[in-house]
Structure 1
Amino acid sequence: MGGSVKDVQSKAELDNLVRTGVPVILHFWASWCEASKHMDQVFSHLSTDFPHSHFLRVEAEEQPEISEAYSVSAVPYFVFCKDGKTFDTLEGADPSSLANKVAKVSGSIKPGDAASPASLGLAAGPTVLETVKELTKENGSSKGTSQVQVGLSDNLKMRLQQLVDSQPIMLFMKGSPEEPKCGFSRKVVDILKEEKVQFGSFDILSDNEVREGLKKFSNWPTFPQLYCKGELLGGCDIVIAMHESGELQEVFKDHGIDTRNEAKTTESGNAKGGTSESTGLSTGLTSRLRSLINSSPVMLFMKGTPDEPKCGFSRKVVDILRQENVHFESFDILSDEEVRQGLKVYSNWSSYPQLYIKDELIGGSDIVLEMQKSGELKKVLHEKGIVPAETLQDRLKKLTASSPVMLFMKGTPDAPRCGFSSKVVDALRGEGVSFGSFDILTDEEVRQGLKEFSNWPTFPQLYYKGELIGGCDIVMELRSNGELKSTLSE
C-alpha cells in the first residue's frame, strides 16, 4: 500500500478535511476482501498521479460511524468529495471507472473525457488489473462492480435467525465479552454491563460465513451488532447514543427485559410496528401523536429536516421519498423530547426515522430501503392512493398538448403584452386557426421551465399536437409561404 494514501483515524478528522473544499477521495475497504486489497493498489497509484487531492483509506468495519455517514453497504466502495460535499460514489472493483472519477473530481479532465493511461492503474501492474477482472467475473457483475455481499442460502438464513433469536439480547462482536478484539465491541460490552442486563454473544471472527452473512441479513455493514428480541438496534455509535440518552434502558423495558439480571417472560408483541394495547401514555399525548401521524398521508418522523437531515438514516428515507416523487410532511423529533420518547411507545418502534403512510407505520430506513429496492414501496403507495406528485415536466407536457394548437405568449389573445405575441395571434386568426393560449407572465415556473423543455429560449412559442413549431419568425415565414394553416392541420 504505497503512494500517498493516509488512513483515516476519526470522523472529526475527515469532516474537517472535507470542509476545506479540496478534493478528497475515500476508499472504504476490508482486510478480508480480496477485491479491496487489489483495488487499494490501484488507488495508491492514482494518489501518485493526482498529488493535489487527498486519498484516504477507511476500514469500513473499524470506522462504523464514517461507514454509516456515507451509507456504505459493501466493499470496495469509493466516495469522491469536492467543495465540502459528496461529488460522486463508486461501488465495486472497476479500475477504469475509479480512474475517471478521480480525474473528474480532481479537475484534471472534463466530464466524459477518458483518463490517461497512467491513471487507469496500469502502473499497478497487469497482474493486479487481471486479478480485479477475475474477481469481477466471479461476482457475476455485468458492470464491473464487485458486490461483497451475496445472496443468502435458506440454511444460512435459518442459522442466522436462530443465532439472533438465541438470547433476548444478542451481541455479535469481535472476540468475547471477556476478551473483546476491537474497541467498538468493548464499548458495547461495557454498556450492556452498565445496563445490568444478561446477554449472549457470538464471536464473528470465529466464523466467516456468519460474519459475511449477517451483514446481508441485517443490512448493516459493520460490527458489533446488537439485537434485542430478534430486532437489530444498531452498532457501537447508536448503542452509545441510546445509552447516554436513556433510550437503551427504555427499549429493554419495553421488550420485557429486566435490568437486574432476573429472568422475565413479559412479551413485547410485534416489534415491527403497531400500537400497544396499553401504552401508558397520557390521553393528551396520545391524541397529539395521532394528530401528527395523520397530519399528512405520508408522514416522516426524523432527525432534522428534509433539507438538513441530522443523521444518515433520516437522509436515506428523505432521498427515497424524493426519488419516488412523493409529497410528504416531516417532524423533527430532536425538537420535541415528549414526541420523541412518546412515539417510541406509541408505535412500539425503538428508533428513528419512522415512516407512516395513511396512519400505518411502515418502518425505519432499512425497511424503507428494502421496500424501494423490491418495488414494494411503490406498490404500497399505490394501494393507499398516494400518487406521485406531478413534476414540472409532466405539467408542461399536459399544457403543450392541452389544445391541438397551443400558443405560449405574453398576455392573452385579446390583450397581448408584446409585439411578437400580437403578431402570432393576428397570423393565427388571419388563417382562421382555432388555438388555446397560456400567459407565461402569470407563471414563472412555466415560463422558465418551458425554455428548457422546448430548448427554445424566447416567447411566444407555438405548438401543434404537443410538438414545437417555433416562435414569431417561423410563424411569420410559414404564413408568408402559405404553409401555416396546412402545418397546423396535418
Structure 2
Amino acid sequence: MGGSVKDVQSKAELDNLIRTGAPVILHFWASWCAASKHMDQVFSHLSTDFPHANFFRVEAEEQPEISEAYSVSAVPFFVFCKDGKTFDTLEGADPSSLANKVAKVAGSINPGDAASPASLGLAAGPTILETVKEMAKENGSPKETIQVQPGLSDALKKRLQQLINSQPVMLFIKGSPEEPRCGFSRKVVEILNKEKVKFGSFDILSDNEVREGLKKFSNWPTYPQLYCKGELLGGCDIVIAMHEGGELKDVFKDHGIDTKMEEKVTESGISKGGISESTGLSTILTARLESLINSSPVMLFMKGKPDEPKCGFSRKVVEILWQENVPFQSFDILADEEVRQGLKVYSNWSSYPQLYIKGELIGGSDIVLEMQKGGELKKVLLEKGIVSEATIEDRLKKLVASSEVMLFMKGTPDAPRCGFSSKVVDALRAEGVSFGSFDILSDEEVRQALKVFSNWPTFPQLYYKGELIGGCDIVMELRNNGELKSTLSE
C-alpha cells in the first residue's frame, strides 16, 4: 500500500490483510474528537515515512464489529499488528509514542530502543514535533501533568485574572456556546440566553493549564464557572437556582449588565405546522424524545443493551454506571432510526452514547469517563439524589462481595495493565474459575482504601466469598500446588 492511509471497509477485509503477516497499523477515531484529528495528521505523515506498512483509519462508532474486536472504548486508539497478531496498542493522543511504536512494528528500530521523533523520517519528524508542541500548549506537557505544582505562578494568576475580566459576564465551559461538550455547560448557556445577556466564554478543554489553574484560583473544583464583573457566581446548580429565583436578573441589573439582547425564539418556541423553531423537529417527535429522556432519573441512549453493548463507547458508560452502583434505564438507538437521528438534533450532540440525569444531558463516553475520574460524576449523582452517601468501607464491602471470586487488578481481564494482574487472570482462566473484576486504575479512592481495608499493600488482590486469598505470588503458589481451584470452591 505504502505512503497512504485507507479507510477500513469491512472486518473481513481487515482480517485477510492481517493474516498475511504484513505490518498493519489501525487508527480508531471519531469525527467529534479533536484529539483524533490532531493524531490523524501525524498518522498520515507516518504512512509516508513507513511505506512498507499498511495504515488504516477506522471510524470507531461506524465500525462497531471492528471496535469490539479490539476492545476500543475511547479515541484516539491505535492497534499495531505484525505476523498475523496484535503486537501493541496505544490509547490517547501521544504523537511521540505513536511514532516510536510504528517504528518498532514497521521500521528498523529494535524493541527497547528510544526513538526520537525527529529521527523517524523527513516527513514525520517535523510534523510530530510540531504536533507535540501544539498539543502541549492545549493540554499541558506530560511532565506538567505528573508534577502538579502546589501553587499557581504569578504569570498564570495574571492570565486567569485577565481572562475573567475580559468580559463583564464570562463563562468558563466545556466546549463553546454553540457546541457545549457537557450538559451542565449547555444548561448555563441556555439560561444566559434566556436572561438575554451578552457573555464571553472560554473552552477549558482547549487549555489544560487554564482548566486546572482556575480550579485553584477560584477554589471551585468543577465546570462550568460563571463570573460577573470579575466575581465568581458559581456553577450550574447555583446559576439554575439564581435564575429560577430571579436573583440572577437582579445581579446583572445591579452590576449594570445589559439584558436587552434580541429575542431569537418566538414566545412559545413553536411555530405553525407543529414544528419546533428551536430544533426543526415535529412536536410529536419532540414530545416522544422528552418522554424517553424523562422516563428514568438516569437514562442512557446507547448502541445495543447494557448486557450486550454494540460499541465500545456504550460499553464504557455502562461499566461506569455499574461501578458507581447507579440504577438506570436504557434505549437502544439502533432499534429506532427516528429516535437515533432525532435525538442528535434535539440534544445538539452528534454521537452516541448520550447520558441524561434528571432530564439533563451529561454527555458522551469521553465526558462521563472524565467526570468519573475527577469525582464529578459521584458529586452530581449525590446532588441529584440518584445515589446516597456511603462510606468507602461500605463501598469496599459491596465490591468485595459483588462476586464469589473477586479480583481487584490493574486493567481488565481482557486487557491487563500489569504483568502480575495478567498472571492471575491466566491462572484463574486456566483453572476454569469464573470471577468478577474491578480495575483499580479507574478509581483512586478504591485503590488506596483497599490497601488499608485488606492490610495488603499491592495489587492484584484476589478474594473468595469476601475473604482475601492474596496477591500474585500466593495465587501462583496455590496453582502450582494444584490447590487453586479447590480453594476457590470450598
- Please give the range of the TM-score, normalised by the shorter of the 2 chains: 0.3 to 0.5
Q: Taking structure 1 as the reference length, what is the TM-score of the superposition?
A: 0.41
Q: Taking structure 2 as the reference length, what is the TM-score of the superposition?
A: 0.41
Larger radius of gyration: 1
